[in-house]
Chains A and B, each alone.
Chain A
């Protein structure tokens, strides 16, 4: 298992290198630069800026400089948020995104899995239709609609919870963003779990288990749930990575200082170093999440072993 894990981690290095290189050159090819804006700068000011950020050097040289710094763990200064280095911004934003993203996934599992199982067990009944109908609505309604409605209802009209703000991660400030972030995930997980459960319940070994005279409860708990969890597990890796780094809308609406926003803002601002920093971070996170999921997979499915 250890060898496998190390091998996977080593394999991630070339993957990340390719991602970094492609992103670096794509970013530079994109029209518009970090200092373009409504106000045209006098040429001498532009020259000063380019010199200060080494943008006056040939592109390959800039690339080598960037890679050299990266090897020393230096993501460079942000072009836009000058008082912070990219490392500081990520270090400040990631725990926040991890907290709301992690809680959202947890909530999604806690609600989505049971709903999916119940829908599968009560297949083609009113319960099934209701659960799946609601899940479909959950998938169809985007975050940017759900979040303002939650803020309006619970923050403004009922005044039960803050309508926004982070407040150092106080629980009341967490509730609405976590719910808003988890709704779509609940829906996906419930639908996935239902489909997977139905498939498992129709399989030969379940029939065998029933034939052996096991009670329905035993069949479900002992034999059906674990294999049915496999598709959900493989969905979790990218879902967690995505939810942690991609909760842009939720962070914007609730004013949460996570790293999700840096993805979009840095790209729009052409904040080259911050874009690269988030790309490297996101890439590493996806690799890590996929590895964790694969390890979890082997724990759930005895047929899969990585002890080569």
Chain B
């Protein structure tokens, strides 16, 4: 019997080996790009997307907004060939290209944009990211149900060839925003025909370089080149497969086995190994994202005292975190707004990167002045969401703060619980991170605006809010930049948070691919990618 089972196992292995050889012998699908993405797309209906970074990768390949990005992530004309902006910066008129089509050959019209944006802002759609379109006139009132959909400041003119958008107030980053999936059009004709079922693979039509053909939930989404795309001749790839590879280590194995051409993230702990063993494929570059610790500035918390906040900032050794704890796979941060943000210079928190002994001495003095010492030790509650990286960083910081006599109590919870708890203000210090939705400093600085949901620490500074308000109504980009930079300095002088690290993009890219360029937003439309001949 033992011999039998051995024989059977042997037969299984042999037959699978021969099948593998067969699979290898089939015609090479060199023009299909295989990308490992880190999660499952929530929906092809952009109003239902949940905000995962991986979702943008799929959506930007199959849809196109009024503007799109080049390989460097820079904004360029998309469905609109050109646009006019009124002198007061509140009215945008977009002229749509004549050859813009959906993948079933139907023209993409301004009406599709009006329909798509109304759909996103319709309270019944319950879109999580509807607020991104709030700069449009009446958008918020429409989304709360206070005004009807047709009052939204967007209309189709000239038989659907021109789109007129009216904004609530001048929004310098509005063009940037239009590359985000919330601003994509919706195929009105398909929705009219199929209702909610329009997203099913048999019914779906899209207006991007590719169009979806198969979706095996939790495994793979396959898209094919859209022959009706206006630049279809310039698209090299025949199709793209997006494999759901949430296990990042497994993704590396699949990349090494040649099953994946691109892996959209790898664990920071593997960076050194990858850099040594796959140097040509290993990419790491600055990204528009900040990893920081929120300090609870609400009354009654030790961190409400600016001296405590300054002391904690002074002895946080960012370089140790980035280079030793994170093995070079993050960059040390001294501000909230990361480098690479458009029309913005990186600011710097004062005195946090000078001589360590001096910093430590000053921090000890501050803690003493704040009334803490051996008789009254400073006890702080630190919360972080479950992950090995977050844990390592939390332990390191607790150790860095120990010389100050700070006793750190660490609590970790899964992300859902973590964010709910810190939203309720039950913490002294909490981990948080922010990846930019669009390339603008305002997207980060809003995190410290009083009364905003994401302002977990309850930072409240009238001067800061005023500067942001002024920036919001300033059309001159240079003046606006100065106001935003000044605002950030107000918060940094207040030690409102502990900036720790800037996120980096971590990708594995087959060196035989061309058209891939690292960029701060980590946007890489497959439309530009090709296999080197």
Chain A residues close to B by CB (< 8 Å) = 31-33, 35-45, 47-49, 51-53, 80-84, 88-89, 92-93, 107, 110-111, 113-115, 117-118, 148, 151-152, 155-156, 159-166, 170-172, 174-175, 251-258, 261-262, 268-270
Q: How many angstroms between the C-alpha atoms of A117 and B1 in the bound complex?
A: 10
Which chain A positions have C-beta within 8 A of B237? Answer: none
Q: For the complex, what is the distance from the CA of A33 to the CA of B45, rounded to whole Å? A: 22
- With A49-B126, A165-B243, A255-B219 given, is the CB distance from A160 to B17 under 8 Å? yes
**Are A37's CB and B416's CB within 8 A?**
yes
Partner of A164, one of B17, B45, B143, B250: B250
Interface positions, chain B 412-457, Cβ under 8 Å from A, are: 414-417, 419-421, 423, 432-434, 452-454, 456
- A253–B40 Cα gap in the complex (Å)? 15
* B9 interface contact, C-beta 8 A: yes
Nearest-CB distance from A128 to chain B (Å)? 13
| Distance of A148 Cα from B43 Cα, bound (Å) | 30
If A81-B42, A84-B217, A89-B217 touch, whether A148 touches B250 (CB-CB below 8 Å) is yes
B199 / chain A contacts, CB cutoff of 8 Å: 83
Pick from B12, B40, B419, B452: contact of A81, CB below 8 A: B40
**B329 CB-CB contact with A under 8 Å:** no
Residues of B that sit less than 8 Å from A by CB: 1-2, 4-5, 8-9, 12-13, 15-17, 19-20, 23, 40, 42-45, 48, 50-51, 123-128, 130-131, 140, 143-144, 199-200, 215-220, 243-247, 249-250, 253-254, 256-259, 414-417, 419-421, 423, 432-434, 452-454, 456
Q: Which of B40, B44, B51, B253 contacts A163 (CB 8 A)?
A: B253
- Residues from chain A with a CB closer than 8 A to the CB of B4 are 114
By the criterion CB–CB under 8 Å, are B257 and A45 in contact? no
The answer to whether B416 and A171 have CB atoms under 8 Å apart is: no
Query: Could you tell me the distance between the alpha carbons of A29 and B419 in the complex, rounded to whole angstroms?
Result: 17
- In the complex, which of the residues A53, A92, A162, A171 contacts B217, with contact meaning CB atoms closer than 8 Å? A92
Whether the Cβ atoms of A171 and B143 lie closer than 8 Å is no
The A interface is mostly helix, strand or loop, or mixed, namely: helix
- Pick the contact of A31 from B17, B246, B256, B421 — CB < 8 Å? B421
Task: Please tell me if the beta carbons of B219 and A48 are within 8 angstroms of each other in the complex.
Answer: no
Q: How far is the CA of A255 from the CA of B127 in the complex (A)?
A: 29
> Of A31, A88, A148, A156, which one neighbours B257 at CB under 8 angstroms?
A156
Query: By the criterion CB–CB under 8 Å, are A148 and B421 in contact?
Result: no
Of the candidates B43, B50, B245, B417, the one whose C-beta lies within 8 Å of that of A32 is: B417
Q: Which residues of A contact B51 (CB under 8 A)?
A: 37, 39
Residue ID in chain A nearest B15 by CB atoms: A171
Minimum CB–CB distance for A239 against chain B, Å: 18
Cα–Cα, bound, A48→B127 (Å): 8
Contact yes or no, A171 B126, CB < 8 A = no
Which residues of A lie under 8 Å from residue B246 when comparing CB positions? 252
B386 (CB) vs chain A CBs: closest residue: A268
